[in-house]
Amino acid sequence: MDCQSFYASVEKADYPQYKDRPLIVAGDPKRRSGIVLAACPIAKRYGVTTAENVGTALAKCPELVVMRPRMEKYIHVSLQITEIMRQFTDLVEPYSIDEQHLDVTGSLSLFGDPDTLARIIQTEISNKTGVRCRFGISYNKAVSKMACDNFAKKNADGIYLLPQEKLQDVLWPLPIRKLLMVGSRMERHLLNMGLSTIGRLANTPVQRLKARFGVNGEVLWRLANGIDPSPVNPNSHQGVKSIGHEMTLPRDYYSFETIAIPLLELTELVCRRCRDKGFMGSVVSISCRGADFDRPTGFSRQLKLSDPTNVTNQVYEAVMALFRKYWDDLPVRKVGVTLSGLVSDDTYQLTLFDERPKYQALERATDEIKRKYGDSAILRAVSLTASGQARDRAGKIGGHYR
């Protein structure tokens, strides 16, 4: 199941006066976040696309209605859609905020064939949320997603059934870029090997693909052949292997001192999330990305700690050690910090001159203040400088307005 122009559909449901007008949901045009996050079908007919600059979109369609994103609202509607689908099957697995997998095998005796059931769910979601959903139907998760992306989204009724016996006739003739998990870079590699269609990849010896791409070669071969044994698992996202956060900066940062500030803010956020979930991490990872997407610069490195921790100062020390060692002195656009190797924080090894208890008491107090009064209630002084982003991001979810 995929929601059509999800953010834009939610806005049109809340503001019916815009029902017949071209509408986009976009970030602040004054900042780097001023890009199109979602465009309704009417806007797309003018050539407006997601991820393009708001100014470019307005040039294509001057009468565009530009809505600021409301992430809390979108999350609420996404959860509402999940609950609607759970009325028809208990096997619902979220894939993203606007996509979900459903296994309806056990529900067909109650609701009819898959096509009929999809229409029932589609109508129920539309009536209760105003959001139109598309359904790709097949015998496993990977093929059903490709059926949705490549066919259901183009059908007037938003439903497409792809049985296993028609896989070669329907899926194999498609261009290789239509295969799940094939992006622009992988497409170039595959085209250089002469693999221009999904069928050609499916009929390539798997050992040749593994020799070129490693385990990913076999994954691609399996997807092209419609092989995906993974079940629909409602609990697939409950296991936490790492906790991290990334931030796209509002402008290019050039100096060590300015980049260090958002890295500190990210470290504090990641450590706070670890403390909230009862984890400590033993592996610190940081990433920095440059300002030019056509000629990408930056790095991604990690460091193993001697002992697991969730204390901001200890993690930040490792973050800065990595940054000093690997930063190439080029402008930075995006930074990220992650803690992995997670263990429970109920026990840890003390050392002779360990100041951890003092810092833990301090951070428990600041965490409680933020829980009670909001993330911007107490900030580090550096966050009030021009390079700090914590105060601005306190009113956002995932970098977008609530």
What are the tokens at 36?
């199109």
- Alpha-carbon distance of 67 to 18, in angstroms, equals 11
In the numeric block, the tokens 């385990």 are attached to 215
Other Cβ atoms less than 10 A from the Cβ of 348: the count is: 16
Marked catalytic residue, from 99, 265, 268, 363? 99
Rounded to 5, what percent of the chain is helix, strand, coil? 45, 20, 35
Q: Is 329 labelled a binding residue?
A: no
- Alpha-carbon distance of 381 to 384, in angstroms, equals 6
What are the tokens at 169?
């006739």
The DSSP symbol for 260 reads H
- Alpha-carbon distance of 41 to 2, in angstroms, equals 15
Other Cβ atoms less than 10 A from the Cβ of 380: the count is: 15
Asked whether the beta carbons of 158 and 152 are under 8 A apart, the reply is yes
What are the tokens at 176?
């290789």
- Alpha-carbon distance of 392 to 259, in angstroms, equals 16
Asked whether the beta carbons of 290 and 331 are under 8 A apart, the reply is yes
What are the tokens at 48?
């407006």
User: Is residue 52 annotated as part of the catalytic site, yes or no?
Assistant: no
Q: Is 228 labelled a binding residue?
A: no
- Known binding site for Mg(2+): residues? 2, 98
Residues tagged active-site: 99
